[in-house]
């Protein structure tokens, strides 16, 4: 427990409109807030339970003090406007995270936001794990596979924030927690939204002020001068710097002290792909920063295991249960031999179908058979590699054009034959992109069964 005179004392009861929280310890102190471990009584049905929470308190260390007898937060008149505007931002951003971040598994969940002690608090899930910094400090630098398995979900979470016109502005190893779910899998979680900002469609902030805050090594140059418009590239820089930390095991230099491309050139044994990833993310010029889409795929599953060392201690190790490329995220996993067999059978059938059409001699039948063969090839490719297919450009449009052509000009003929069995592929691809990432395996299976049933009905009907 911290002895800081400005923290709430251990055992203090912090009352919200919904609950009474007992302060157990201080989890962390920063320039703009204090985070506590707290406990509270909850009920599941008629069963009382003691649950743990993390609570963030708005407290600007340079402007605020705490009254020892009341625990109220106080500040001087010259600091009043600054503190109260920051407090409004704190509340509005916490309410926003509470509202829409509940939909993402890798963003900390906020339970409630309330005022007390002349300041504000928000109550979060308590993540029983350790920070990314703590893990690297204990275990050393990560391998590329380990780093990507942790950072891919965080990249996805930040992308989700940006889609909702929000920037985090304080991404760093301390603000990524490695929690463990009920199956033993690691759940990387982005925490601490004390500096986050939401913006209108015109790029202007919805909050009243722009709080200046920078974490050396992870904040880009422009953040030191203050960011006043929607700037997702600031988070991209921080993501690149955090990946560099994972691979090297130490904090990068302050952005103002870096030479162009210095971080990417200072990784001991990185593959060209990862080196380019960090190079593009950590450009000093914000207009040149980007994260390559190929490394923003849904992450492979990670799991915590333990092994014994010579002194019988246990060391926590993160392993990657998926493969090391983006193809591990496809819907159907087909090895190379099976793929060759499937495509060979499709080719033989297509040649047979076109040959029969040629023997019949009708030009329209020949063209239709050829188009059906192409449609069949593209559908098989799409079923095997759904994500790559949907993300493709010309393949997707070419397949869609054939689908439209078959079902408009040749509607009466096109549903006769093997192509009818692939009409529902568009539903499979669309359903995958919209739902599979967020559904349990049992629900995915039911979804696929229902789609196959649709295909079966097509084949019976036509």
**pLDDT tens sequence across 74-84:** 999 999 999 99
319 plus 192 within the same structural domain: yes
143 plus 60 within the same structural domain: no
Residue of 443 and 146 predicted with greater confidence: 146
- The two tokens of residue 38 are 């707290």
Q: Is residue 37 part of a domain?
A: yes
Q: Determine the Cα–Cα distance for residues 401 and 393; give it in Å rounded to an integer.
A: 12
Instruction: Supply the pLDDT for residue 351.
Output: 66
Binned at pLDDT 50, 70 and 90, residue 72 comes out as very high
53 plus 201 within the same structural domain: no
Q: Which of 278, 294, 324 is the last residue of a domain?
A: 324
CATH code of 63's domain: 3.30.200.20
CA dihedral (111, 112, 116, 121) positive or negative: positive
- Would you say residue 14 has pLDDT above 70? yes
303 plus 437 within the same structural domain: no
Q: Is residue 4 part of a domain?
A: no
Q: Which of 125, 158, 185 is the last residue of a domain?
A: 125
Most confidently predicted of 119-133, 280-294, 328-342: 119-133
Closest to 22 in 3D by CA, of 3, 1, 46: 1
113 plus 135 within the same structural domain: no
Percent of the chain at pLDDT > 70 equals 61
- Would you say residue 13 has pLDDT above 90? yes
Query: Do β-strands 176-180 and 302-308 pair in parallel, antiparallel, or remain unpaired?
Result: unpaired
**Residue 113: Cβ-neighbour burial (10 angstroms; 0-12, 13-18, 19+):** buried
320 plus 339 within the same structural domain: no
449 plus 342 within the same structural domain: yes
Give the domain range for residue 268. 129-324
179-227 confidence digits (pLDDT tens)? 887 777 889 999 988 788 888 877 777 766 555 678 999 999 999 988 8
26 plus 86 within the same structural domain: yes
Q: Determine the Cα–Cα distance for residues 54 and 59; give it in Å rounded to an integer.
A: 15
| pTM summary value | 0.61
280 plus 166 within the same structural domain: yes
Nearest 5°: phi and psi at 194? -65, -30
378-418 confidence digits (pLDDT tens)? 666 665 665 566 566 666 666 666 666 555 554 444 444 44
226-268 confidence digits (pLDDT tens)? 888 888 999 999 999 999 999 999 999 999 898 888 887 778 7
Q: Determine the Cα–Cα distance for residues 451 and 423; give it in Å rounded to an integer.
A: 10
Q: Please give the average per-residue pLDDT across 13-37, as a whole number.
A: 93
394 plus 265 within the same structural domain: no
Q: Determine the Cα–Cα distance for residues 295 and 32; give it in Å rounded to an integer.
A: 33
Q: Is residue 7 part of a domain?
A: no
**Residue 99: Cβ-neighbour burial (10 angstroms; 0-12, 13-18, 19+):** exposed
Name the region of 66 (left: φ>0; alpha: ψ -120 to 50; beta: rest). Answer: beta
Closest to 217 in 3D by CA, of 267, 258, 254: 254
Count of structural domains within the chain: 3
Neighbours of 356 (CB within 10 A): 12
Q: Is residue 375 part of a domain?
A: yes
**Residue 200: Cβ-neighbour burial (10 angstroms; 0-12, 13-18, 19+):** exposed
117-162 confidence digits (pLDDT tens)? 999 999 999 998 899 999 999 999 999 989 999 999 999 999 999 9
Instruction: Supply the pLDDT for residue 89.
Output: 85
Which neighbouring-strand residues pair with 113?
122
Residue of 261 and 429 predicted with greater confidence: 261
Q: Which of 105, 125, 145 is the last residue of a domain?
A: 125
């Amino acid at each position: 427990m911290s002895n800081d005179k400005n923290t709430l004392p251990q055992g203090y009861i912090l009352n919200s409109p919904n609950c009474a929280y007992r302060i157990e310890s201080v989890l962390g102190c920063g320039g703009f807030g204090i985070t506590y471990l707290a406990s509270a009584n909850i009920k599941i049905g008629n069963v009382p339970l003691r649950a743990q929470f993390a609570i963030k308190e708005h407290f600007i260390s340079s402007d605020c003090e705490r009254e020892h007898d009341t625990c109220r937060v106080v500040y001087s008149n010259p600091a009043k406007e600054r503190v109260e505007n920051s407090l409004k931002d704190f509340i509005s951003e916490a309410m926003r995270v509470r509202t829409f971040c509940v939909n993402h598994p890798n963003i900390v969940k906020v339970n409630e936001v309330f005022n007390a002690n002349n300041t504000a608090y928000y109550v979060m899930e308590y993540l029983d794990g350790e920070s990314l910094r703590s893990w690297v400090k204990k275990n050393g630098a990560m391998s590329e596979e380990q780093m990507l398995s942790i950072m891919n979900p965080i990249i996805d979470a930040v992308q989700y924030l940006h889609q909702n016109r929000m920037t985090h502005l304080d991404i760093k190893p301390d603000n990524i927690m490695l929690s463990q779910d009920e199956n033993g899998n690691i759940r990387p979680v982005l925490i601490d939204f004390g500096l986050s900002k939401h913006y209108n469609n015109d790029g202007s902030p919805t909050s009243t002020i722009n709080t200046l805050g920078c974490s050396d090594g992870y904040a880009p140059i422009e953040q030191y001068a203050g960011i006043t418009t929607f700037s997702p590239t600031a988070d991209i820089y921080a993501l690149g710097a955090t990946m560099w930390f994972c691979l090297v095991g130490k904090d990068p230099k302050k952005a103002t002290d870096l030479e162009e491309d210095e971080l990417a050139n200072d990784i001991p044994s990185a593959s060209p792909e990862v080196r380019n990833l960090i190079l593009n993310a950590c450009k000093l010029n914000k207009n040149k920063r980007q994260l390559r889409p190929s490394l923003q795929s849904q992450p492979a599953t990670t799991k915590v295991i333990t092994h014994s060392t010579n002194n019988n201690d246990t060391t926590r190790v993160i392993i990657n249960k998926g493969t090391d490329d983006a193809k591990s995220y496809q819907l159907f996993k087909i090895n190379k031999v099976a793929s060759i067999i499937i495509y060979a059978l499709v080719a033989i059938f297509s040649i047979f179908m076109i040959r029969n059409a040629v023997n019949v001699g009708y030009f329209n039948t020949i063209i239709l058979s050829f188009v059906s063969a192409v449609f069949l090839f593209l559908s098989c490719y799409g079923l095997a590699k759904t994500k790559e297919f949907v993300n493709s450009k010309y393949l997707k449009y070419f397949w869609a054009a054939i689908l439209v052509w078959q079902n408009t000009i040749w509607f009466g003929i096109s549903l006769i034959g093997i192509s009818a069995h692939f009409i529902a592929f568009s539903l499979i691809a669309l359903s995958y992109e919209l739902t599979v990432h967020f559904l349990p395996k049992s629900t995915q299976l039911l979804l696929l069964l229902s789609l196959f049933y649709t295909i079966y009905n097509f084949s019976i009907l036509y």
